[in-house]
Amino acid sequence: MSDASNEEKIIDLTSPEYYINRELSHLQFNIRVLEQALDESHPLLDRLFFLCIFSKNLDEFYEVRVANLTQQLTFAREQAGADGMHPQQVLSEIHTVCSATVDRQYHILNDTILPQLAQENIHFLRRADWSEPQREWVRAYFEESVQPLVSPIGLDPSHPFPRLVNKSLNFIVALEGKDAFGRETGMAIIPAPRSLPRIVRIPDELTTGGDHFIFLSSIIHEYADDLFPGMSVKGCYQFRVTRNADLDIDHEDTADLASALEDELHSRNFGEEMRLEVADNCPEDLANFLLQQFNLEQNDLYRVNGPVNLSRMMEVIGQINRPDLQYPPFTPGLPKHIKFNKSIFESLREKDVLLLHPFESFTPVVDLLREAAKDPHVRAIKQTLYRTGAKSEIVNALVDAARNGKEVTVVIELRARFDEEENLYLANRLQEAGAVVVYGVVGYKTHAKMMLIVRKEGDRYKRYVHLGTGNYHAGNARAYTDYSFMTCDDSIGEDVHKVFQQLTGMGEALRVKKLFHAPFTLHKKLIEMIDRERAHAEDGKPALIRMKANGLTEPKVIRALYKASQAGVAVELIIRGMCCLRPGIPGVSENIRVRSVIGRFLEHSRVYYFLNNGKDEIYAASADLMERNLLNRVETAFPVESNKLKERMKSELEVYMRDNCQAWDLQPDGSYLRAQPAAEEEVVKAQAILLETLASAS
CATH code where residue 307 lies: 3.30.1840.10
Last residue of a domain, which of 480, 513, 546? Answer: 513
pTM value is 0.92
pLDDT of residue 421: 76
Residue 3 in domain: no
Annotated catalytic, 447?
yes
Residue 93 in domain: yes
Is 506 in the same domain as 585?
A: no
Q: Which comes out higher in pLDDT, residue 692 or 177? A: 692
What's the mean pLDDT in 189-213? 93
Strand partners, 552: 579, 625
Percent of the chain scored above 70 by pLDDT? 93
Catalytic residue among 447, 466, 523, 536: 447
What's the mean pLDDT in 33-60? 96
CB atoms within 10 A of CB 642: 14
Backbone angles phi, psi at 534, to 5 degrees: -65, -40
pLDDT of residue 245: 83
Is 282 in the same domain as 392?
A: no
Last residue of a domain, which of 485, 513, 541? Answer: 513
Is 302 in the same domain as 386?
A: no
Residue 16 in domain: no
CB atoms within 10 A of CB 185: 18
Average model confidence (pLDDT) across the chain: 91
pLDDT bucket at 1, cuts 50 / 70 / 90: very low
Nearest partner of 34 among 84, 102, 83, judged by Cα = 102
Each residue of 475-513: pLDDT tens digit? 888 999 999 999 999 999 999 999 999 988 876 777 889
Residue 9 in domain: no
Task: Identify the H or E element spanning 129.
Answer: none
pLDDT of residue 428: 87
CA 598 to chain centre: 13
What is the sign, positive or negative, of the torsion defined by CA atoms of 360, 363, 364, 369? positive
Is 277 in the same domain as 291?
A: yes
What is the sign, positive or negative, of the torsion defined by CA atoms of 332, 334, 340, 344? negative
Residue 2 in domain: no
Q: Which comes out higher in pLDDT, residue 244 or 667? A: 667
pLDDT of residue 439: 85
Output the furthest CA–CA distance in the chain (Å, rounded): 91
pLDDT of residue 178: 67
Is 499 in the same domain as 576?
A: no
pLDDT of residue 2: 47
Task: Identify the H or E element spanning 594.
Answer: strand 592-597
Strands 663-666 and 592-597: antiparallel
Nearest partner of 674 among 22, 41, 23, 21, judged by Cα = 41
Backbone angles phi, psi at 568, to 5 degrees: 105, 10
Strand partners, 273: 243
pLDDT of residue 253: 41
Is 462 in the same domain as 536?
A: no
Residue 120 in domain: yes
With a cut of 60, say whether residue 320 has pLDDT above it: yes
Between CA 156 and CA 71, with CA 238 as vertex, the angle to 5 degrees is 80
Residue 12 in domain: no
pLDDT bucket at 538, cuts 50 / 70 / 90: very high
Give the single-character DSSP code of 83. Answer: T
With a cut of 70, say whether residue 416 has pLDDT above it: no
Query: What CATH number does the domain containing 461 carry?
Result: 3.30.870.10
pLDDT bucket at 43, cuts 50 / 70 / 90: very high
Is 298 in the same domain as 396?
A: no
Each residue of 373-403: pLDDT tens digit? 999 999 999 999 988 877 789 999 999 999 9
With a cut of 80, say whether residue 359 has pLDDT above it: yes
Each residue of 97-145: pLDDT tens digit? 999 999 999 999 999 999 999 999 999 999 999 999 999 999 999 999 9
Alpha-helix residue ranges (DSSP H) falling in 109-238: 114-119, 132-141, 216-222
pLDDT of residue 566: 97
With a cut of 90, say whether residue 561 has pLDDT above it: yes
What's the mean pLDDT in 229-247? 88
With a cut of 80, say whether residue 78 has pLDDT above it: no
pLDDT of residue 423: 76
pLDDT of residue 259: 53
Residue 467 in domain: yes
> Which residues constitute the domain of residue 463?
330-513
What's the mean pLDDT in 8-14? 80
Task: List all residues 6 or more positions away from 354 whose beta carbon is below 8 Å from its beta carbon.
Answer: 483, 484, 485, 640, 642, 645, 648, 649
Is 456 in the same domain as 581?
A: no
pLDDT of residue 266: 59
Is 299 in the same domain as 412?
A: no
With a cut of 60, say whether residue 73 has pLDDT above it: yes
Alpha-helix residue ranges (DSSP H) falling in 178-300: 216-222, 257-267, 284-294
Is 427 in the same domain as 340?
A: yes
Is 387 in the same domain as 490?
A: yes
pLDDT of residue 176: 82
CA gap 76, 84 in Å, rounded: 17
Last residue of a domain, which of 270, 295, 325? Answer: 325
pLDDT of residue 698: 37
Q: Where are the beta strands (DSSP E) in 122-177?
A: 122-124, 153-154, 170-176
Is 319 in the same domain as 334?
A: no
Q: Which comes out higher in pLDDT, residue 192 or 268? A: 192
Give the single-character DSSP code of 159. Answer: B
Structural domains counted in the chain: 3
What's the mean pLDDT in 254-282? 71
Secondary structure (H, E, C), 481-498: EEEEEEECCHHHHHHHHH
Amino acid 96 reads: T
Strands 301-304 and 273-279: parallel
